[in-house]
Protein backbone atom coordinates (compact mmCIF):
# COMPACT_ATOMS: atom_id res chain seq x y z
CA UNK A 1 0.00 0.00 0.00
CA UNK A 2 1.15 3.51 -0.67
CA UNK A 3 1.56 6.07 2.09
CA UNK A 4 -1.41 8.06 0.80
CA UNK A 5 -3.70 5.03 0.96
CA UNK A 6 -2.40 4.20 4.47
CA UNK A 7 -3.07 7.75 5.67
CA UNK A 8 -6.59 7.68 4.23
CA UNK A 9 -7.43 4.40 5.97
CA UNK A 10 -6.16 5.73 9.32
CA UNK A 11 -8.39 8.81 9.05
CA UNK A 12 -11.53 6.71 8.51
CA UNK A 13 -12.64 6.69 12.14
CA UNK A 14 -16.17 5.57 12.89
CA UNK A 15 -18.65 8.32 13.66
CA UNK A 16 -19.14 9.12 17.31
CA UNK A 17 -22.34 7.89 18.98
CA UNK A 18 -23.44 11.51 19.30
CA UNK A 19 -23.19 12.02 15.54
CA UNK A 20 -25.08 8.78 14.89
CA UNK A 21 -27.87 9.96 17.23
CA UNK A 22 -27.92 13.30 15.43
CA UNK A 23 -28.23 11.61 12.03
CA UNK A 24 -30.93 9.31 13.41
CA UNK A 25 -32.78 12.38 14.69
CA UNK A 26 -32.66 13.94 11.21
CA UNK A 27 -33.88 10.64 9.74
CA UNK A 28 -36.87 10.66 12.13
CA UNK A 29 -37.58 14.30 11.22
CA UNK A 30 -37.73 13.21 7.57
CA UNK A 31 -40.04 10.27 8.28
CA UNK A 32 -42.32 12.52 10.33
CA UNK A 33 -42.38 15.12 7.57
CA UNK A 34 -43.26 12.45 4.97
CA UNK A 35 -46.09 11.14 7.15
CA UNK A 36 -47.35 14.69 7.66
CA UNK A 37 -47.29 15.38 3.90
CA UNK A 38 -49.08 12.10 3.19
CA UNK A 39 -51.69 12.89 5.85
CA UNK A 40 -52.33 16.33 4.38
CA UNK A 41 -52.52 14.96 0.84
CA UNK A 42 -54.83 12.08 1.81
CA UNK A 43 -57.13 14.09 4.05
CA UNK A 44 -57.71 17.13 1.86
CA UNK A 45 -61.09 15.68 0.90
CA UNK A 46 -62.12 15.11 4.52
CA UNK A 47 -61.07 18.66 5.42
CA UNK A 48 -63.03 20.06 2.46
CA UNK A 49 -66.06 18.02 3.54
CA UNK A 50 -65.81 19.36 7.09
CA UNK A 51 -65.53 22.99 5.95
CA UNK A 52 -67.62 23.20 2.78
CA UNK A 53 -69.78 20.11 2.97
CA UNK A 54 -73.54 19.81 3.17
CA UNK A 55 -75.60 17.16 4.91
CA UNK A 56 -78.21 15.06 3.18
CA UNK A 57 -79.90 11.66 3.25
CA UNK A 58 -78.78 8.59 1.34
CA UNK A 59 -80.24 5.13 0.84
CA UNK A 60 -78.16 1.99 1.24
CA UNK A 61 -78.52 -0.02 -1.96
CA UNK A 62 -75.87 -2.70 -1.45
CA UNK A 63 -73.34 -4.07 1.01
CA UNK A 64 -70.40 -6.39 0.67
CA UNK A 65 -67.36 -7.65 2.50
CA UNK A 66 -63.90 -8.47 1.27
CA UNK A 67 -62.02 -11.10 3.29
CA UNK A 68 -58.35 -11.73 2.70
CA UNK A 69 -55.34 -13.27 4.43
CA UNK A 70 -52.26 -11.48 5.65
CA UNK A 71 -49.09 -13.43 6.40
CA UNK A 72 -46.67 -12.09 9.02
CA UNK A 73 -43.19 -13.57 9.12
CA UNK A 74 -41.01 -13.15 12.22
CA UNK A 75 -37.79 -15.00 11.52
CA UNK A 76 -38.79 -18.65 11.59
CA UNK A 77 -42.31 -17.95 12.88
CA UNK A 78 -45.09 -17.42 10.35
CA UNK A 79 -48.51 -16.20 11.41
CA UNK A 80 -51.52 -16.03 9.11
CA UNK A 81 -54.27 -13.54 9.89
CA UNK A 82 -57.64 -13.16 8.19
CA UNK A 83 -59.01 -9.64 7.78
CA UNK A 84 -62.32 -8.37 6.52
CA UNK A 85 -63.07 -4.98 4.96
CA UNK A 86 -66.65 -3.72 4.93
CA UNK A 87 -68.25 -1.76 2.08
CA UNK A 88 -71.59 0.00 1.65
CA UNK A 89 -73.01 1.31 -1.62
CA UNK A 90 -75.36 4.25 -1.21
CA UNK A 91 -77.35 6.54 -3.42
CA UNK A 92 -78.55 10.09 -2.90
CA UNK A 93 -80.15 12.77 -5.06
CA UNK A 94 -79.07 16.42 -5.16
CA UNK A 95 -80.85 18.88 -7.45
CA UNK A 96 -82.54 16.04 -9.32
CA UNK A 97 -79.16 14.40 -10.11
CA UNK A 98 -78.58 10.93 -8.61
CA UNK A 99 -75.19 10.10 -7.13
CA UNK A 100 -74.05 6.61 -6.20
CA UNK A 101 -70.87 5.60 -4.41
CA UNK A 102 -69.31 2.63 -2.66
CA UNK A 103 -67.22 3.39 0.43
CA UNK A 104 -65.21 1.34 2.90
CA UNK A 105 -66.86 1.73 6.30
CA UNK A 106 -66.30 0.60 9.86
CA UNK A 107 -67.62 -2.75 11.01
CA UNK A 108 -69.85 -0.89 13.48
CA UNK A 109 -71.60 1.10 10.72
CA UNK A 110 -71.77 -1.93 8.42
CA UNK A 111 -73.55 -3.99 11.09
CA UNK A 112 -75.95 -1.18 12.04
CA UNK A 113 -77.52 -0.60 8.61
CA UNK A 114 -79.29 -2.69 6.01
CA UNK A 115 -80.36 -2.48 2.39
CA UNK A 116 -83.01 0.18 1.80
CA UNK A 117 -82.24 2.01 5.05
CA UNK A 118 -81.74 5.78 5.01
CA UNK A 119 -78.58 7.23 6.56
CA UNK A 120 -76.95 10.64 6.68
CA UNK A 121 -74.46 11.58 3.99
CA UNK A 122 -72.05 14.51 3.83
CA UNK A 123 -71.12 15.75 0.37
CA UNK A 124 -69.30 18.64 -1.21
CA UNK A 125 -71.83 21.26 -2.27
CA UNK A 126 -69.96 22.09 -5.48
CA UNK A 127 -69.11 18.41 -6.21
CA UNK A 128 -71.65 15.97 -4.73
CA UNK A 129 -69.81 13.03 -6.30
CA UNK A 130 -67.37 13.42 -3.38
CA UNK A 131 -69.19 12.22 -0.29
CA UNK A 132 -68.92 10.14 2.86
CA UNK A 133 -71.23 8.23 5.15
CA UNK A 134 -68.73 7.20 7.83
CA UNK A 135 -67.32 10.47 9.17
CA UNK A 136 -66.08 8.84 12.38
CA UNK A 137 -63.82 6.47 10.40
CA UNK A 138 -62.54 9.34 8.24
CA UNK A 139 -61.76 11.43 11.33
CA UNK A 140 -59.81 8.59 12.97
CA UNK A 141 -57.69 8.17 9.82
CA UNK A 142 -56.68 11.83 10.03
CA UNK A 143 -56.09 11.71 13.82
CA UNK A 144 -53.92 8.57 13.71
CA UNK A 145 -51.81 9.93 10.83
CA UNK A 146 -51.33 13.21 12.69
CA UNK A 147 -50.31 11.44 15.89
CA UNK A 148 -47.76 9.33 13.99
CA UNK A 149 -46.27 12.46 12.42
CA UNK A 150 -46.02 14.17 15.82
CA UNK A 151 -44.45 11.04 17.32
CA UNK A 152 -41.74 10.79 14.65
CA UNK A 153 -40.98 14.52 14.61
CA UNK A 154 -40.87 14.55 18.44
CA UNK A 155 -38.55 11.54 18.52
CA UNK A 156 -36.33 13.22 15.92
CA UNK A 157 -36.18 16.36 18.07
CA UNK A 158 -35.36 14.23 21.15
CA UNK A 159 -32.51 12.33 19.48
CA UNK A 160 -31.15 15.50 17.90
CA UNK A 161 -31.11 17.26 21.30
CA UNK A 162 -29.39 14.29 22.97
CA UNK A 163 -26.73 14.25 20.25
CA UNK A 164 -26.02 17.96 20.79
CA UNK A 165 -25.48 17.36 24.52
CA UNK A 166 -23.13 14.44 23.87
CA UNK A 167 -20.92 16.24 21.35
CA UNK A 168 -17.81 17.75 22.89
CA UNK A 169 -17.66 21.53 23.07
CA UNK A 170 -15.00 22.91 20.75
CA UNK A 171 -12.62 25.41 22.38
CA UNK A 172 -11.32 28.17 20.18
pLDDT in tens, 45-67: 777 887 888 999 999 999 999 99
Q: At what angle do helices 17-42 and 135-166 cross, to 10 degrees?
A: 160
CATH of domain 17-166: 2.40.50.660
**Could you give the CA distance from residue 45 to residue 128 in angstroms, rounded to a whole number?**
12
pLDDT in tens, 111-164: 999 999 999 999 988 889 888 887 676 667 778 878 888 888 888 888 888 888
Task: Look at residue 83 and tell me whether its pLDDT is greater than 80.
Answer: yes
**Residue 7 per-residue DSSP state:** H
What local confidence, expressed as pLDDT, does residue 90 receive? 96
CB 164 within 8 A of CB 29: no
Alpha-carbon separation of residue 14 from 17, 18, 23, 47, 164 (angstroms): 9, 11, 14, 47, 18
pLDDT in tens, 89-126: 999 999 899 999 999 998 999 999 999 999 999 998 88
Per-domain residue ranges of the chain:
17-166
**Could you give the CA distance from residue 36 to residue 34 in angstroms, rounded to a whole number?**
5
Find the helix or strand (DSSP H, E) in which 78 lies. strand 77-94
**Could you give the CA distance from residue 24 to residue 155 in angstroms, rounded to a whole number?**
9
Q: Which residue has the higher pLDDT, 84 or 144?
A: 84
Mean pLDDT for the stretch of residues 19-29: 86
Which is nearest to 144 in space by CA: 38, 1, 10?
Answer: 38
Amino acid sequence: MSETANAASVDNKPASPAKVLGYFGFFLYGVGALILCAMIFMSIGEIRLAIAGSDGRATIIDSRTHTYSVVHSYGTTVRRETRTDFYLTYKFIIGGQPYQRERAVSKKLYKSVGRGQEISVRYLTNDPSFSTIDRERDAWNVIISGLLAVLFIGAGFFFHKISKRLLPVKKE
